[in-house]
A = this chain, B = another copy of it.
């Protein structure tokens, strides 16, 4: 039995709330409580966890510390992950400065850019490297994850290069959908897409002529 991808996608959320509960000092938590915190049903949480084992105790719930530990193991968060950043423009610098990665075990250990004015510069303790150094450095440092923060027009090309260096996971900040061979995973970060999927529902309430028509068609029996 394969673990569904949606389930894997939810595990990090469980990790996040469990850490908050631990910080708060809670020792035990029930699927009901987790469900309230995450706005999902208790049954879904129990079912998700059941793909990986039996972590709870009937009548009590789950031990926060031990469930957290188990999930960290399952997600392979019990180690350090070395990451390459490509693109050190405005966005890339913000990513380098983001303090949220390191405490979670994600360390940016190399930065690349093909702009000659950026190369050689020191940023957050790293020397910006030319793209031509990517194969050597990615191999030497055994990097498996990359963050792409280049302009949309260059993203596909950059991802191709990363893939040929053996990178298997890409976090893509460029507002384009990139194609990768089977076995290479991409997650996109695009705030505009997120906003656009919410305006759909706002539009329904406000309603332009065109929009109302569309919703009505969508709502036909």
Chain A interface (Cβ < 8 Å from any Cβ of B)? 1-3, 8-9, 11-13, 15-17, 20, 36-39, 51-53, 70, 73-79, 81, 90-91, 94-95, 97-98, 100-101, 104, 106, 144-145, 147, 168-169, 171, 175-177, 179-180, 185, 187, 189, 191-206, 208, 210-211, 214-215, 217-221
Given A39-B179, A104-B192, A176-B20, also A208-B73 (CB < 8 A): yes
> Are B75 and A13 interface neighbours, CB within 8 A?
no
Shortest 7 CB-CB contacts between residues of A and residues of B: A76-B203, A73-B210, A12-B196, A169-B198, A187-B194, A74-B214, A94-B94
> Are A13 and B193 interface neighbours, CB within 8 A?
yes
A72 to B203, CA, bound (A): 11
A208 to B81, CA, bound (A): 13
A204 to B8, CA, bound (A): 12
29 chain-A/chain-B pairs, Cβ below 8 angstroms: A12-B192, A12-B193, A13-B193, A16-B175, A37-B179, A38-B177, A52-B214, A73-B210, A74-B215, A76-B202, A76-B204, A76-B206, A76-B208, A77-B196, A78-B210, A81-B199, A94-B94, A98-B191, A100-B175, A101-B195, A104-B192, A106-B192, A145-B198, A145-B199, A169-B199, A171-B191, A171-B194, A187-B194, A189-B194
> Are A202 and B3 interface neighbours, CB within 8 A?
no
Interface of A is mostly: helix
Chain B residues whose C-beta falls within 8 Å of the C-beta of A145 in the assembled complex: 195, 198-199, 202
In the complex, how many angstroms separate the beta carbon of A24 from the nearest chain B beta carbon? 11
Chain B residues whose C-beta falls within 8 Å of the C-beta of A36 in the assembled complex: 179
Chain B residues whose C-beta falls within 8 Å of the C-beta of A200 in the assembled complex: 8, 11, 74-76
